[in-house]
Chain A
Amino acid sequence: MNASTSVRKSCKPRREVLEGPLSDAMFGAEFGTVINGTAPRIYQDAKTFFANTHPTSTLKKITHHVFSTLVKDESGRALRLSTGFGGGKTHALIALWHLARNTSGRNIGTELLSAEDQPAKMKVAAVDGAALGADKTTHPDLLTHSLWGEIAYQLGGKKVYDIVASYDDPYSVPDNQVIANILGSEPILLLIDEIVVYMKALDDRARNSLQVFFRKLLTVITTRNQAVLVMTDPAAQLAYDEEARAIESVIRKLDEELSRKVSDYEPIGKEAAQIISRRLFEKVDSSIAEAVATAYHELYNRVDSETGASLPKAVLSEAYKKEIIYTYPFHPRLMETAQNRLGPLPTYQKSRGTLRLFARIIRDIWSTKVETPIITGADVNWDNEDIQGDLLSRLDRQEFSGAANEDIGRHARNLDKEPKTDMHTRVASALLLESLPATDNAYLRREEITQICIRPQDAGNEPGEALDRLLSVCWYTYPTISGDAYQFKTEANVNKLIEEGLASNVVPESEAAQQIHTVIERYFTGATFSLKRWPETPGDARDEEKTLSLALCDSVERAVEVVIHSRKDGDEAQPRAYRNAIVAIAPEPSLFKQAIDHARRSLIAAKIKKERKDPQIRKQLGNIQPKLEKLYRISAVRAFNQIIVYNSEPRTLEEKYLVSKDETLFRGTDGQGKIMDYLYDKGLALKSTIGLDPLIVVDKLVPAATPSTTYKGAVSCAAIVDQAYRSSSLKLIVDLEPIRKGIEKAVLSGNLLLRMGDGRVYDDQGCIIGEKGRRQRREDLLTNFPLSENTFVAPTSAPCADDWLHVDEVIPGEEPGPPPPPPPPDQPVYADNWQQAREIARKQELLEGTLKTNDLEAAQHLLAVVQPLSAQTVRLSIALSGDLKDGGYLNFSLELVKPEHALKPLKKAEEFIRNLRPEYDFEAILTLDFRTGEGETRRPNTEGSLQQAQAQADDRIQVEFKFSPLE
């Protein structure tokens, strides 16, 4: 046997706990039934009764006081048994009753009273107020009509009754002598229970008489020897009995009367655990109790050191370990819950209620064969109808049946299925038990949940995690306003409101789908693909080559159509030409449905937040809404895992290309990167770093490209690119670099010739350059070229090849080389100094100007310089960089801002410069635009303006002006 030994192995419950009906009578001792001999055997049979009774120290004390008075000829005394229902008062009365009635059977109740302390002969009268008639009580040979008549009859039958017969009505109180005569001279024990119940049945006059009787009775008892009155505390009943409050003043008076002459006892004291254990178990293995306590002590300390503040500090102590041993097989916290949480409930009846509940729990554990090292609130099986009836119907807590059936029976059990565990049910069960008082303080803190639900084999965080999951699905769980504790309530929480919102279609699926569309659009935004949003027909996604496109589609079927066709109207379909320029992404239907569900929940939560002002609901939403939103976003993005490229079956993105399920930093914008990774990893896209195979260029692309009309047998590079996007033998084209490299390789390997727009022709030997008649070969190899309409390639066997490769003879004395190209006729004219600008300005229109300086002071003067020029727009650019004086580097740049911009660019630059080391780089450029609207004539006297500006400028300012072309 060890610490993990189940209570089923270490303990043996009593037979009546495991079998037969667990009736109220078994746990609720009724004194009246014992008196008249109709009580269940466990109370009626003295031997069985004492076998089931734990001898608490207080009970021992009571019996000692009572019987020592009776044996030792001491003066009489009165005892009042305190505590409310379930405090063990009636049990104490029954014990005294059995001991008084079995003076000859010396081996009975010896744990409470040794044989020599018992009197040889004594009289006993016992009255249960609940069984006493208001005006008559029937006996075989007569009727009694008052409490004193009843006592007299019990003490001596008709003979003694006759003494009091003339007073036997509720209004005629016998005098002290008559009472003394009734009691006689023998040792006498009077036991009175439930006097308040009796008083309730009397009228006011009779109650006053009863009070007088008690006063006289107490006087008689305390003035003679060997007489003891033991009665239960009438005042204690006020707290539990609504009807009793109606006669509160009378009860108080009686209580005061008693208080003067009685001693108070609380029979159970602090030994409830032993009483319960003794009552319910035949045998409890104390060695296992110690092992379990040690295991829990180590567990609590381990979890506390590993996870910090997840347990109450009190449970870490040695004292708590002893408490576990003391309460075993019940967890101390369960005892606390039963006594302090459930005990105060009017209908619970403390010890009786606890006994009944624990008996049901034990029976359930034994019948369901649950293996648990110690019984806690988490082991309450709310599926058990008897337990539920005991805790809900009996305690008038039927409103919690929703929590028991829906949250524990359904939600918690569903959570327990995957992965298989029972922690969710345990946590919910413990929480519900604790919440039954239905008050604001009937809650459990997170650490208390761990304390109750954790078992030695657990890591420690399971209860807390289970709680979090429960809070997101349960319909009746609430965090407290402070947010650090949780409880079940009878009103539906946000989760239920969301469920109701789902059922009543507050947010239709179309709205949720639209929401998901926007999330997806955002996720797949980027620079690599241009998005084609939700095409309904293939025609909605244009067939174009310019960039790689990503079509976002609602379904795989539509995605396939979009990738294959460029247009489809009914049966008429046109295949997509630029098949290497498009990829489609679509959702997996089941995941998409799930994402829509999540989105609807999130949207409903947002609506509730707008509409409801209830602080607890808002508190819950504060916890739930961000989780719901994250969940729907992640599930939406994860749902779009079907990728479709031309000529291929839809492929499912693997986990590494998806957003993680518990992505904590989900920003929602890296979708294109993941798709690119997938395309590259799976070899579906051409990598920029690897050029096309030159043979593919020569054999596939060049022959299929549109031939040039300028050069026979040649094709333009643009036509090759166009063909690359169409070719079924190529992959997706992300950029044009692989094509450029492929062409370059083909040229350098001697398979192709390349002619640039300026007439240069490249082959594997080098370059042929020069105008016609002066073309010469150079050894410059092909390095870079534009893939434009003006760049041509041709196979070496093409008809144009000879012409391209023609080299002219060199004329002696004349250096070969390219002549400078003549300026085009419409070229603008530039001036890079003031003088030149003034000269040109005489004839031509000033279009633009730039004034540049590397000096801050000169820069601050620039505006004054350009002021005479009256430019249409003036824009300032500043670039500043350098090492900061106290370490670090500064880069500051502003482009084309108004010089008077609110940022105050030059002042800002000045401020920065003050913080820089002297070796900084500074440049300020003032850009002037003189162009006016169409049709306006040249501005007059530009030359004069330039002259004025020049007068303001100095050498630190460099200028450049652009004038209109020569006319």
Chain B
Amino acid sequence: MMKIREAPFALRVTRRSGGLAGVVYRRSSGKNGYDHLHRIAGLSAVAFSAGRLLLEKGNLAVNGSRKLQPGPFMPLDADWGARIACYALLAAGLRNPERMLTASQHFMQADGAEAAWWLGRLTRAEDSRTIRSLRILVEAVE
């Protein structure tokens, strides 16, 4: 099982008023050069619920358990981390759970390297066209 110090990505499950929610982190160096897990995006209760299968699958692949519960960081590997981070970024601000579910299903089948490429584009400077394109590609929007 991967330790959190080794993990390139991590997921933290939180408890919110609307149900379980989450935050996705990625390991990167801060201003002082230290390596830390930095917050990439939050998963609202709706996004968490719709993307639950994706999150469970990622958790199962890395930690050997499907169970998602509030508490410590759950390490994620580079592939699943990229997929989940992409999902979290594009689900932010969306409201239709069915669309989010479709998007999460696309990410479940997406290649890890491809997801990493998209994540790179999404986390670069503000680029609304990238997120819009990805949302269209994974059918998160009509």
Contact = CB atoms under 8 A, between A and B. Distances in A.
Interface of A: 510-511, 514-515, 517-519, 521-522, 530-536, 539-542, 544, 549
Contacts of A510: 53
A551 to B, nearest CB: 9
Given A521-B46, A539-B15, A533 B20 contact: yes
Interface residues of B, number: 21
B37 interface: no
B141 to A, nearest CB: 15
Identify which of B18, B70, B105 gathers the most chain A CB atoms within 10 Å of its CB. B18
B56 to A, nearest CB: 8
B66 to A, nearest CB: 9
6 contacts: A514-B53, A515-B101, A522-B98, A533-B19, A536-B20, A540-B70
B18 A518 contact: no
A533 B20 CA distance: 7
Given A521-B50, A542-B16, A542-B17, 15 more contacts: A510-B53, A511-B105, A514-B50, A517-B52, A518-B98, A521-B97, A533-B18, A533-B19, A533-B20, A533-B46, A534-B20, A535-B20, A540-B19, A542-B15, A549-B17
B49 A521 contact: yes
Contacts of A540: 15, 19-20, 70
A540 B49 CA distance: 13
B101 to A, nearest CB: 5
Interface in B1-33: 15-20
Contacts of B101: 514-515, 518
Contacts of B49: 517-518, 521, 533-534
A532 B17 contact: yes
A531 B17 CA distance: 8
Q: In the A-B complex, list the 8 residue pairs whose CB atoms are closest, starting with the nearest.
A: A533-B19, A518-B97, A533-B49, A518-B101, A521-B97, A518-B98, A514-B53, A518-B50
Contacts of B53: 510-511, 514
Given A511-B53, A514-B52, A514-B53, A531 B18 contact: yes
A544 B15 contact: no
Nearest to B19: A533
A522 B96 contact: yes
Contacts of B52: 514, 517, 534
B97 to A, nearest CB: 4
A541 B20 CA distance: 9
Residues of B contacting A: mostly: helix
B116 interface: no
B100 interface: yes
A142 to B, nearest CB: 86
B45 interface: yes
Interface string B35-55: 000000000011011101100
Nearest to B108: A511
B18 A530 contact: yes
Contacts of A518: 49-50, 97-98, 100-101
A517 B45 CA distance: 13
A515 B50 CA distance: 8
A534 B19 contact: yes
Contacts of A535: 19-20
A795 B69 CA distance: 47
Nearest to B49: A533
Nearest to B105: A511
A276 to B, nearest CB: 60
A108 B105 CA distance: 83
Contacts of B98: 515, 518-519, 522
Contacts of B45: 531, 533
A322 B46 CA distance: 69
Interface in B86-136: 96-98, 100-101, 105
Nearest to B56: A510
Nearest to B67: A536
B31 to A, nearest CB: 20
A704 B76 CA distance: 50
Contacts of B16: 542
A541 B46 CA distance: 14
Contacts of A534: 19-20, 49, 52
A528 to B, nearest CB: 14
Contacts of A522: 96-98
Nearest to B66: A510
B87 to A, nearest CB: 14
A541 B100 contact: no
A624 B18 CA distance: 36
A435 to B, nearest CB: 38
Nearest to B68: A536
Given A521-B49, A534-B49, A541 B19 contact: yes
Interface string B49-92: 11011000000000000000110000000000000000000000
Contacts of B100: 518
Nearest to A603: B105
Nearest to B51: A514
Nearest to B54: A514
A518 B48 CA distance: 11
A508 to B, nearest CB: 10
B12 to A, nearest CB: 15
A510 B50 CA distance: 12
A835 to B, nearest CB: 44
B19 A532 contact: yes
A505 to B, nearest CB: 15
Given A514-B52, A519-B98, A544 B20 contact: no
Nearest to A606: B102
A147 B16 CA distance: 102
A510 B69 CA distance: 18
Contacts of B15: 539-540, 542
A514 B18 CA distance: 17
B13 to A, nearest CB: 10
Contacts of A531: 18-19, 45
Given A511-B53, A517-B49, A521-B46, A532 B18 contact: yes
A535 B48 CA distance: 12
B17 A530 contact: yes
Contacts of B105: 511
Contacts of B97: 517-518, 521-522
Contacts of B18: 530-533
B100 to A, nearest CB: 7
Contacts of B46: 521, 533
B69 to A, nearest CB: 8
A531 B44 CA distance: 12
B50 A544 contact: no
B83 to A, nearest CB: 16
Contacts of B69: 536
A293 to B, nearest CB: 56
Identify which of A518, A535, A536 gathers the most chain B CB atoms within 10 Å of its CB. A518
Contacts of A539: 15
A387 to B, nearest CB: 48
A539 B16 CA distance: 11
B20 to A, nearest CB: 6
A519 B101 CA distance: 10
Nearest to A508: B53
A522 B96 CA distance: 7
B47 to A, nearest CB: 10
A467 B139 CA distance: 35
Contacts of B50: 514, 517-518, 521
A518 to B, nearest CB: 4
Contacts of A544: 17
A541 B17 CA distance: 7
A370 B17 CA distance: 65
A364 B18 CA distance: 65
A277 B21 CA distance: 78
B50 to A, nearest CB: 5
A157 B18 CA distance: 108
B104 to A, nearest CB: 9
A510 B19 CA distance: 19
Nearest to B98: A518
A562 to B, nearest CB: 11
